[in-house]
Amino acid sequence: MPATVVVGAQWGDEGKGKIANLLAQGADVVVRYQGGNNAGHTIVIGEETFALSLIPAGVIYPNVTPVIGNGCVIDPKVLLAEMKMLADRGIDPSKLKVSSNAHVIMPYHRKLDSLRERYLGRQQIGTTKRGIGPAYLDKYARVGIRIQDLYDPKIFRDKLEAVVKETNKVLTKVYNQLAFDASEIAEEYLGYATRLEPHVDDTALLVWRAIRDGQNVIFEGAQGVLLDIDHGTYPFVTSSNPTSGGALTGVGIGPADIDRVLGLTKAYVSRVGTGPFPTELFDEVGEAMVRVGGEYGTVTGRRRRCGWLDAVALRYAVRVGGITELALMKLDVLSEFPTLRIATGYLSEGVEYPEFPRQQRVLYNCDPIYEDLKGWTTDITGVRDWADLPGDARTYVERIEELAGVPITMISVGPQRSATFPKGTG
Ligand code: GDP
Ligand code: IMO
Ligand code: MG
């Protein structure tokens, strides 16, 4: 498996941290290709739990080079704090490489993120307020600051002054807020730059060389396909491309460099933030999913909305996400339900939708068409072999595989790295 992309096939929090960490055991390079510290990837090793927001899960292993690619947006203060947290806990982050082309999250991005949400009122996206959207906005408006700018103080100050001047107009005149001081920001960020300098690199070249040399490279996606800026439930999405396509531009490689795209889906669905969610449950079953699954955001602590598995959305995520195989996560969370439901279509105004509708309105007013399956109602957290899964659990997994249209190759029944086994047959 020289080059594997790990992609969330839902609205994030599928268990990418766990799987990226698992795959990183045999890897040489693990790369984040999009997003920023809106991500929260949990890794559980023995008694220890790590929540990483920017540094790829592979950092845990001394043999791995962790990389933050050009497609990411980086809050340097958060990155330095994460490196310190790891060092304090005995993990050496010194091999970390950061793309010189990645964009920098500035204090005014964080401010604008909160302000825009407040002004959207009931239309708000429910962002993580980490400045992600405004940082990508500046990138595409071509007024963003890149990591490399920090090492050219004159250019950095000039660019910063221009963008702060314009941003201050918006902040003071539109939002009635205090202005930022460009020279104060410059001092603060030049300080971060000195500390980050040993890590800044041409990561596109580094990854390309690793692939050329036959090394094992893992691309660790953040968020999920349904949060993709192009293919997700816009505007209730993030501002980058979590799909496998995003891995190409977000690192600087070509499609032929990728061998395998592993999509991750929970055995049910969760979503944090606003936006449509056809199979969302508002009853005690949804409550039980939150409780048993520990469905509270890693980054913001918000309660995640939960519901039955949506095979329509999953099939769509497999298609637009370029997913070639799936890992089925958190199967153990469904153990207490005597009946399990899977949405196989949507019904809206008398029309049946077997595929993800092109008109998003349908997602808000549809009734899912459910197929009911028998639950297994026994604890499966100790299972480590396909043959030891109860028959009803195997039937559930096989039905998902059939509906998704790609093989399920991995099953996860607990947060521990060891609570994972390959799907067998029969
Ligand atoms: P990510 O953002 O995709 O990395 O996922 P998060 O870390 O935000 O959320 C996944 C949560 O589920 C974490 O708390 C994991 O420790 C936990 N987890 C991962 N796999 C499993 C599993 O198979 N079963 C259970 N019960 N928990 C899991
Ligand atoms: P991981 O990598 C779940 C959601 C936010 C909000 C929307 C936009 O841990 O799976 P943003 O701050 O990105 O502008 O917020 O996207 N969101 C996530 N939801 N998991 C994540 O990351 C998320 N990152 C962003 O809740 O709805
Ligand atoms: Mg998460």
Transcribe 365-418 into DSSP letters.
H-EEEEEEEE---S--TT--SGGGS-HHHHHHHHHHHHHHSS-EEEEE-SSBTT
Whether 53 is covered by a domain: the verdict is: no
| Token digits of residue 136 | 């990508």
**Ligand 2 probe mutation, 5, 37, 139, 223, most atoms within 8 A of CB:** 223
State whether the beta carbon of 243 lies less than 6 angstroms from ligand 1. Answer: no
The upper half-sphere exposure of residue 21, i.e. CA atoms within 13 Å in the direction of its Cβ, equals 23
Number of domains making up the chain: 3
CATH number at residue 233: 3.40.440.10
| Token digits of residue 3 | 């080059």
Residues in the chain: 426
**Ligand 1 probe mutation, 32, 42, 54, 416, most atoms within 8 A of CB:** 42
Residues 228-235 have a mean pLDDT of 98
Residue 332 DSSP class: G
Pairing of strands 3-8, 217-220: parallel
Whether 276 and 373 share a structural domain: yes
Whether 229 is covered by a domain: the verdict is: yes
Whether 390 and 324 share a structural domain: yes
Whether 272 and 255 share a structural domain: no
Question: What is the CA(228)–ligand 2 centre distance, in A?
Answer: 10
Whether 72 and 26 share a structural domain: yes
Nearest-CA neighbor of 270 among 294, 238, 242?
294
Domain that holds residue 183: 103-196
Catalytic residue flag (residue 13): yes
What's residue 375's pLDDT?
98
Residues 242-249 have a mean pLDDT of 98
The upper half-sphere exposure of residue 289, i.e. CA atoms within 13 Å in the direction of its Cβ, equals 24
Domain boundary among 224, 244, 260: 260
Whether 371 is covered by a domain: the verdict is: yes
- Given a cut of 90, is residue 131 above it in pLDDT? yes
Report pLDDT digits (tens) over 262-308.
999 999 999 999 999 999 999 999 999 999 999 998 888 899 999 99
Distance CA 44, CA 136 (A): 31
CATH number at residue 142: 1.10.300.10
Whether 149 and 165 share a structural domain: yes
Nearest-CA neighbor of 404 among 315, 308, 287, 334?
315
Whether 306 and 355 share a structural domain: yes
Whether 254 and 155 share a structural domain: no
What's residue 426's pLDDT?
74
Mean pLDDT of all residues belonging to the chain: 97
Report pLDDT digits (tens) over 30-65.
999 999 999 999 999 989 999 999 999 999 999 999
Whether 207 is covered by a domain: the verdict is: no
DSSP string, 163-204: HHHHHHHIIIIIS--PPP-HHHHHHHHHHHHHHHGGGEE-HH
Distance CA 52, CA 34 (A): 14
Nearest-CA neighbor of 227 among 211, 238, 212, 243?
238
Place 425 in a pLDDT band, splitting at 50, 70 and 90. confident
Whether 329 is covered by a domain: the verdict is: yes
State whether the beta carbon of 216 lies less than 6 angstroms from ligand 2. Answer: no
What's residue 298's pLDDT?
81
What's residue 300's pLDDT?
82
Whether 112 and 248 share a structural domain: no
Backbone torsion region of residue 121, taken as left when φ is above 0, otherwise alpha when ψ lies between -120 and 50, otherwise beta: left
Whether 192 is covered by a domain: the verdict is: yes
Residues 156-178 have a mean pLDDT of 98
3-state secondary structure of 90: coil
What's residue 1's pLDDT?
59
- Given a cut of 70, is residue 417 above it in pLDDT? yes
Type of residue at 191 = G
What's residue 2's pLDDT?
85
Whether 66 and 147 share a structural domain: no
What's residue 22's pLDDT?
95
Whether 269 and 390 share a structural domain: yes
Catalytic residue flag (residue 41): yes
Whether 346 is covered by a domain: the verdict is: yes
Asked whether 291 and 334 are in contact (CB, 8 A), the reply is: no
Q: Model's pTM, two decimal places? A: 0.97
Whether 401 is covered by a domain: the verdict is: yes
Residues 352-358 have a mean pLDDT of 96
Whether 357 and 402 share a structural domain: yes
Place 231 in a pLDDT band, splitting at 50, 70 and 90. very high
Whether 248 and 267 share a structural domain: no
CATH number at residue 413: 3.90.170.10
Place 349 in a pLDDT band, splitting at 50, 70 and 90. very high
Asked whether 295 and 234 are in contact (CB, 8 A), the reply is: no
Report pLDDT digits (tens) over 398-414.
999 999 999 999 999 99
